[in-house]
Structure 1
């Protein structure tokens, strides 16, 4: 038995940037070159080029985006394995609640600083974000490999890797609409799939290495892997066009927008239970004696594999019946599956629960950006609203894991799993109830309401990944901003 278990169309408002030479403003031949922003140089005068929708340079951006997601959300999705290893007490002894603070801080840093990184990207600092973010992710792994105390792990894994990830995930998607419009859904979907792939590969690497080389070198090898794969986006990703103005960080009118704040409240409450499932599914299998050490570990890749389908398949349904009509039953199902953990008494049962939890959790994390768009009347503020929304929702992320750990207790021989899964299931079902109230506020008692066309107006499918779809919607809105004037024929629906 492993020692790991001893005890997740270029816009009118855009400015192109030239790659190697300055193009005079009166030049009739626009350059189609992508721009090398290694010096974060200012944008060149505008040209009439549109997105190439293909070609070597464009598809290299997709490859770079894949690697960025692989090393941001992919690393974050791995924390369930770290939670289980830390519980073994091989490095230091801490309560389950305290251990969960590491993953919670990492998640919050990625969400909160991601909102700050957006305006930095808008100002043309792509390469700076990539270099700083890559350094922090790799440096965080190296420092984590040297830790001998809980607080050192919080600083290295929670803060350093989390902030580094925030610098990376914004460019991962924000650059795509400048290279694609007719094939934007395909491009962003391929890039965002890196998050799920990282959530499968990194846990397997950690588990296979831990008994052979120990914790320190296992984490260093993961850091070296991140370093090697992050060299790819640094080498190939280049700004093609750049927004004329950076967006603001705060829209004060959001706090008086009832439906918007109601959705934020529901998501905040739901993410409390959601992250209990992310952090404790693997440890539950081992601690409750339901699985072998090896199978307990593989629950994390199984969960992430299920989330791949949950993040993609609902796209079709939400475009037909509206995202609120999809996310509401999806959230209820997350709560029901978490409550079903109470009845699990076999290895097969927990594998099935992990798979279904991954699928329905994928729905929950994929659709909020689409709802943020539908619930924002002034579409010029959508980017700001998405950043604000995720910043407020991060409070639920921060409370979920540590709250579950506090309920679980400190006595390893008398862990209160019933309380943990009841806490997770009830909060998530509570979120579903809040979404039902929101639907009543928006459309009343009608069983069938007009669907949102948020995705269709962009000329492509929206990637069903929380971070990817958020930035996708914002960047596509930038390219439509010129048409959002009085009398414009192109409008944005408010239906949910």
Structure 2
């Protein structure tokens, strides 16, 4: 083997293969050669990044992409998504049943606060859940959220008719808090096991939301009619409890990815501050806020929409299931493209398609039209939801900040998730003027798509500037070492 070069450049790879952060480390530090690559025992370098971060990022090699633990973790994440966001995506069933039977005296806007609060807490706790995940407390989050979720889900079955506060506290607040603790970490933990196929693995996990929404929708519609509200909720809660308990046993978190507590707290704090100075990242978040403001209108109102249009009751019950079934394909198929291209670049045309399909609801006048529009919207909205995590991952500079970046993005998304459904309910009114909320939702999605286009430009500029700066630093360092060697030789 030839001489080792005078300086060793170690590159931390982000999710996107074309994004690198060069770190130069002097070979004067103790080093060994293991398994075909150099290992440096020093724990500091010129950019203040610890060597443990390099070890974490290189822990997942090209040949170690998944494995049994990895795919078991994907299965566990799939179950978590089915029990959490899958249940939220079935809220259209609750909205319809509450409006017709259980809360018949309340407005659609007030009822939607239950679902929007649940959804906003699911997203809003993202920054807390993300930082806890980066500190290595994933298992504590998983067990705590499972216990709280099961308790509140069964408490929902005790709620009495026309008692809004009982439904809000158990379903909106309690279950929302439980979901928020585990939703984003169930995506982030995939980064412990996958690199090359990370978007595909995250797409499978995201598919759990759609699969869960399908059977939760059908199950709740059938059981509400046959068993009544309380027994239907108990049966549904038992199913959700089983899925979460199985997830507790199947998800594996790699210990070597976790840093010491003191070091991790400091670095998470510094990283979080630096995120807000990245124009591309912040514009993506702004786009996500606008898109989410209109994205959940069909999930909350499509069953009521179909019923109000005069379509058969049987079809109306399955309209939400059609939307969620088509989203399975979008969540699993399109993320595969993101494994070979920039996820943000793939996300832009998908968001445009979501906006177009939203406006298409204005033209629905038949069962066939409703089914087609719901299926197209579900396909592209599912792809959008599945690509959010890979997009945030691709904008990360190291593995250790993925959880925090995703958490911040999801937390901001909670703002629009809380406001969107009630705003749509107010626009809908008691006269059921469907054009108003549809136009509002479509316009918000299109504005968010424009933000993503701008964000792509800024992100590309930032990456180019960072690459040029790093290259200049490397050249300067190399010349300095070369000059030092020359002087030593002359002496």
Q: TM-score range by the shorter chain?
A: 0.7 to 0.9
User: Is 1:219 aligned to residue 233 of structure 2?
Assistant: yes
Query: In the alignment, which of 148, 166, 175 is matched to residue 180 of structure 2?
Result: 166
User: Is 1:430 aligned to residue 447 of structure 2?
Assistant: yes
CA distance, structure 1, for counterparts of residue 193 and residue 402 of structure 2: 22
User: Is 1:75 aligned to residue 87 of structure 2?
Assistant: yes
CA distance, structure 1, for counterparts of residue 73 and residue 371 of structure 2: 36
The unaligned stretches of length 5 or more in structure 2 are 1-11, 13-54, 465-472, 476-491
Q: Which residue matches 1:3?
A: none
Question: How big is the shift at 1:54?
Answer: 6.8
Q: Which residue matches 2:342?
A: 322
The unaligned stretches of length 5 or more in structure 1 are 1-10, 12-45, 445-449, 452-485, 489-496
Query: In the alignment, which of 364, 381, 392 is matched to residue 412 of structure 2?
Result: 392
Query: In the alignment, which of 272, 275, 293 is matched to residue 293 of structure 2?
Result: 272
Q: Which residue matches 2:279?
A: 258
8 Å contact from structure 1 (residues 121, 170) kept in 2: no
User: Is 1:243 aligned to residue 269 of structure 2?
Assistant: no
Question: How big is the shift at 1:374?
Answer: 5.1
CA distance, structure 2, for counterparts of residue 177 and residue 440 of structure 1: 26
152 and 487 in structure 1: CA distance in 2 versus 1, 3 angstrom threshold: farther
User: Is 1:402 aligned to residue 422 of structure 2?
Assistant: yes
Q: Which residue matches 1:360?
A: 380
CA shift digits 1:192-223 (9 cap, x unpaired): 43222111111111111111110111011111
Q: Secondary structure at the match of 1:93?
A: coil
Q: Which residue matches 2:216?
A: 202
User: Is 1:420 aligned to residue 441 of structure 2?
Assistant: no
CA distance, structure 1, for counterparts of residue 110 and residue 103 of structure 2: 14
- The more displaced of 307-316 and 364-373 is 364-373
Question: How big is the shift at 1:187?
Answer: 5.1
CA distance, structure 1, for counterparts of residue 117 and residue 432 of structure 2: 24
Q: How many residues align?
A: 406
8 Å contact from structure 1 (residues 282, 296) kept in 2: yes
Question: How big is the shift at 1:376?
Answer: 5.7
8 Å contact from structure 1 (residues 277, 424) kept in 2: no
CA shift digits 1:344-370 (9 cap, x unpaired): 111110111100111121232233344
- The more displaced of 154-163 and 255-264 is 255-264
CA distance, structure 1, for counterparts of residue 71 and residue 409 of structure 2: 31
8 Å contact from structure 2 (residues 293, 441) kept in 1: yes
Question: How big is the shift at 1:385?
Answer: 2.8
8 Å contact from structure 2 (residues 138, 185) kept in 1: yes
CA distance, structure 2, for counterparts of residue 87 and residue 349 of structure 1: 25
CA distance, structure 2, for counterparts of residue 182 and residue 324 of structure 1: 17
8 Å contact from structure 1 (residues 335, 428) kept in 2: yes
User: Is 1:283 aligned to residue 304 of structure 2?
Assistant: yes
235 and 263 in structure 1: CA distance in 2 versus 1, 3 angstrom threshold: closer
Q: Which residue matches 1:97?
A: 109
CA shift digits 1:94-149 (9 cap, x unpaired): 21111111111111111122321233334444443222211221112112112232
8 Å contact from structure 2 (residues 74, 204) kept in 1: yes
8 Å contact from structure 2 (residues 117, 176) kept in 1: yes
CA distance, structure 2, for counterparts of residue 433 and residue 285 of structure 1: 30
8 Å contact from structure 2 (residues 148, 174) kept in 1: yes
> Larger % of helix: which?
2
8 Å contact from structure 2 (residues 82, 210) kept in 1: yes
Query: In the alignment, which of 93, 108, 128 is matched to residue 116 of structure 1?
Result: 128
CA shift digits 1:207-261 (9 cap, x unpaired): 1111111011101111111122222123344444141135636723443433332
8 Å contact from structure 1 (residues 53, 180) kept in 2: yes
428 and 123 in structure 1: CA distance in 2 versus 1, 3 angstrom threshold: closer
For the aligned residues, what is the CA RMSD? Answer: 3.5
8 Å contact from structure 1 (residues 106, 159) kept in 2: yes
Q: Secondary structure at the match of 1:261?
A: helix
230 and 435 in structure 1: CA distance in 2 versus 1, 3 angstrom threshold: closer
Question: How big is the shift at 1:331?
Answer: 1.9
CA distance, structure 2, for counterparts of residue 269 and residue 361 of structure 1: 14
